[in-house]
Amino acid sequence: MIYYYFQSCARTFSSKLVFCLALSDLILSIVDVVEIMYQTGTDCTVLGFLRVTGIYSNMLWTTQILSVLFIQFVLEYAGVNRLFPYLVISNIMLSLAPNVITLYDMNFGGELYFAQVNGECFIQPQSAYMYVLIIPFAVLLTMCLIMTAKVYLVFKEIATNLGNIEYKSLFMYPAVLVMLDVPISIDYATNH
């Protein structure tokens, strides 16, 4: 991430997208380290807020990277560079939405709250987990699978004419999402 700030050549559109994805991963890593270092006495509201924000941001950035590829190659829209501010704003708003709802509900004596389960702070009660994480992730994963198939077919069709290798390598992030996040989600669903 430090490289991104000091090298102007790294400030391409795809690098900005990957930087934002790495930043959301960093948030999750910091929360994990704090939860391991301070197993008791930590404020689960803050850590849960950061964990949910990081999870949503990670899922959304991966989906947005794929949607940029979809828009540029399948829909053949050349102005994707201008979408970056909208991607950032939508990611922040959607990543904060479950937290804002939970904090609002906590403030007015509702059922939602942040608590530690299996060593991780997350939104509780357990029934909320399905609506907060599993269903949104399933929707995003379905969108990713559909867009991945369409982008792959376009890449396959124009593979010999594709001069910009940057977008081909960017296509790997959604593939990694599918390979890594599906088993993690199944593990989360069975352990929470």
For residue 142, what pLDDT band results from cuts at 50, 70 and 90? confident
* 5 domain-assigned: no
pTM for this model (two decimals): 0.76
Contact at 8 Å (CB) between 37 and 47?
no
For residue 94, what pLDDT band results from cuts at 50, 70 and 90? very high
When pLDDT is averaged across residues 73-89 and rounded to a whole number, the result is 85
* 2 domain-assigned: no
CATH of the domain at 127: 1.20.1070.10
Contact at 8 Å (CB) between 140 and 129?
no
182 vs 165, more confident? 182
* 1 domain-assigned: no
The total number of structural domains that make up the chain: 1
* 66 domain-assigned: yes
- Please, which contacts does 29-33 make with residues 24 or more away whose CB atoms are closer than 8 Å? 31/121
**Rg, Å, the chain Cα set:** 18
Residue 100 has pLDDT above 50, yes or no: yes
pLDDT at 185: 62
Other CB atoms within 10 A of residue 141 CB: 19
Residue 173 has pLDDT above 70, yes or no: no
Question: Whole-angstrom Cα distance, residue 89 to residue 190?
Answer: 33
For residue 94, the enclosing domain spans: 13-191
Residue 133 has pLDDT above 80, yes or no: no
* 7 domain-assigned: no
* 4 domain-assigned: no
Residues in contact with 178: Cβ distance below 8 Å, sequence separation at least 6, in sequence order = 141, 144, 145, 148
pLDDT at 89: 93
